[in-house]
Amino acid sequence: MKIHEYQAKEILRSHGVPTPRGRVTSDVADVPEICREFGGRCVVKAQIHAGGRGKGGGVKLANSPEEAGRLAGEILGMQLVTHQTGPGGQEVRTVLIEEAVDIDRELYLAITLDRAARKPMIMASLQGGMDIEEVAEKDPDAIVRQHFDPHLGLLPFQARSITDGLRLEGTTARQAQKLISHLAKAYMATDASLAEINPLLITGDGDVIALDAKMNFDDNAMFRHRDIADMRDLHEENPLEVRASEYHLNYIKLDGNIACMVNGAGLAMGTMDIIKLYGGEPANFLDVGGSASQEAVKNAFQILVDDPAVEAVLINIFGGIARTDRIARGVVGAIQELGDVTLPVVVRLEGTNVEQGRQILADADFDFIVATDMDDAAKKVVAAAGGDS
């Protein structure tokens, strides 16, 4: 799960990580007054979940309360396009107004899980403001890495090894060690999957503060963090994905025109891959669940056909515990219930009682294109969507 910068900063502050003073608003009229409160200079920051906001024009420095109001007016409501939003951009609904701070140096600091080591790992670099992926590619030696034990927490000598790697000294080093320890505690306490401070700022006075902050969380742990789960902002998610999540369906919108409905995440990915292999473009990832009940199939189908880009549908179900004939009845029932389905629908059913299942599809009022295996299904759906296969 993702949250906004201002929310991440609230969480980090509550764990003792220093940040600039700031206030969040959706009302331009508030902005000059907030700016005055911070001494007449401030930074106006668009709050959307995507990164790269600065380059996209969503972060601006204001030298007066009036300028702050004007900039906030430009940013609020804009479709902010960054390398992470896609070409349509994301509407800015709130802005964070922060005091302007004096910058000496910008560093990078983050914690994430190292799956291979099965430990959280701190990454830091001298290249603040740059994407860590970019640094890793261009100058891998510039990244300082430090694992820590999730149960013992970050030990003081480990925090010192990071600040040594960042060539920090004196009170600046000590402040940074404290900040890193607080960040590690916040990361563990909130079941975060990513806590990133980019840039981590060294001010002209040698103080260390988190100028930006990003936190992602383990969806599976949100049952024990109601407060964080409540920070979910549905405006930041694709509306079809929001609807699918209400039905407990695993759905991710993609750019293609061939919708797919599959049971199981692995088979769903495999189905997308095989569509692409035969020259088509998948419109989505969708796992209807292992048992593919009629209710789930109906809800899923409705979401698929509500995507205007979709020109053909591929249903690929492996009937295991749930028998294929029962699944076939579910698919037919769902289509009858929906009524006006005009798209070509390719169905590939496999597994137990497959002959009865295919017969049910053949006898149905709807003209299913029946496929015998995955390759056949992919070729047929690509052709039905007018692809180049």
Partner 1 sequence: MSIWVSNETRLLVQGITGTEGRFHALGCRDYGTEVVAGVTPGKGGQDVEGIPVFDSVSEARTETGCNATMIFVPPPFAADAVMEAADAGIELIVCITEGIPVNDMLKVRAFMDDSDSRLVGPNCPGVITPGQAKIGIMPGHIHTPGNVGVVSRSGTLTYEAVWQLSNVGLGQSSCVGIGGDPINGTNFIDVLSAFAADDETDGVVMIGEIGGTAEEEAAAWIQAERDAGRFDKPVVGFVAGRTAPPGRRMGHAGAIVAGGKGGAEDKMRTMRECGLHVVESPGEMGATMAKALG
Binding residues for partner 1, rule: CB under 8 A, are: 84, 112-113, 115-116, 118-119, 132-133, 136-137, 150-151, 188, 191, 193, 218-221, 223-224, 250, 252, 254, 262-277, 282, 285, 287, 290, 318-321, 350-352, 373-375, 378
Q: In whole angstroms, how close is the CB of 291 to partner 1 at the nearest point?
A: 10
Q: Which is nearer to partner 1, 182 or 225 (CB)?
A: 225
Q: Which is nearer to partner 1, 377 or 384 (CB)?
A: 377
Is residue 196 part of the annotated active site? The answer reads yes
CA dihedral 28→32→34→36, nearest 10 degrees, is 180
Cα–chain-centroid distance for residue 207? Answer: 32
Nearest CA among 388, 318, 384, 332 for reference residue 360? 332
Q: How far apart are CA 240 and CA 271, in angstroms?
A: 20
Q: Which is nearer to partner 1, 123 or 168 (CB)?
A: 123
Q: How far apart are CA 121 and CA 217, in angstroms?
A: 15
Q: How far apart are CA 383 and CA 57, in angstroms?
A: 42
Is residue 108 part of the annotated active site? The answer reads yes
Q: How many residues does the chain have?
A: 389
- Per-position DSSP letters for 136-175, written without gaps between them: HHH-GGGEEEEE-BTTTB--HHHHHHHHHHTT--HHHHHH
Q: In whole angstroms, how close is the CB of 215 to partner 1 at the nearest point?
A: 15
Q: How far apart are CA 295 and CA 193, in angstroms?
A: 33
**Which of 196, 251, 278, 311 is the catalytic position?**
196
**Which of 6, 108, 251, 278 is the catalytic position?**
108
Q: How far apart are CA 388 and CA 386, in angstroms?
A: 7
Q: In whole angstroms, how close is the CB of 18 to partner 1 at the nearest point?
A: 26
Q: In whole angstroms, how close is the CB of 362 to partner 1 at the nearest point?
A: 21
- Eight-class DSSP state of 222: G
Q: In whole angstroms, how close is the CB of 55 to partner 1 at the nearest point?
A: 18
Q: Which is nearer to partner 1, 116 or 230 (CB)?
A: 116
Q: In whole angstroms, how close is the CB of 378 to partner 1 at the nearest point?
A: 8
Q: How far apart are CA 378 and CA 346, in angstroms?
A: 9
Q: Which is nearer to partner 1, 70 or 323 (CB)?
A: 323
CA distances from 90 to 16, 46, 56, 78, 93 (A): 31, 10, 11, 8, 9
Query: Would you call 34 helix, strand, or coil by DSSP?
Result: helix
Q: Which is nearer to partner 1, 64 or 250 (CB)?
A: 250
- Tokens (6 digits) for 194: 């990513």
Residue 72 host element (H or E):
helix 65-75
Residue with tokens 């090894």: 161
Q: Report, as residue numbers or ranges, the catalytic residues.
A: 108, 196
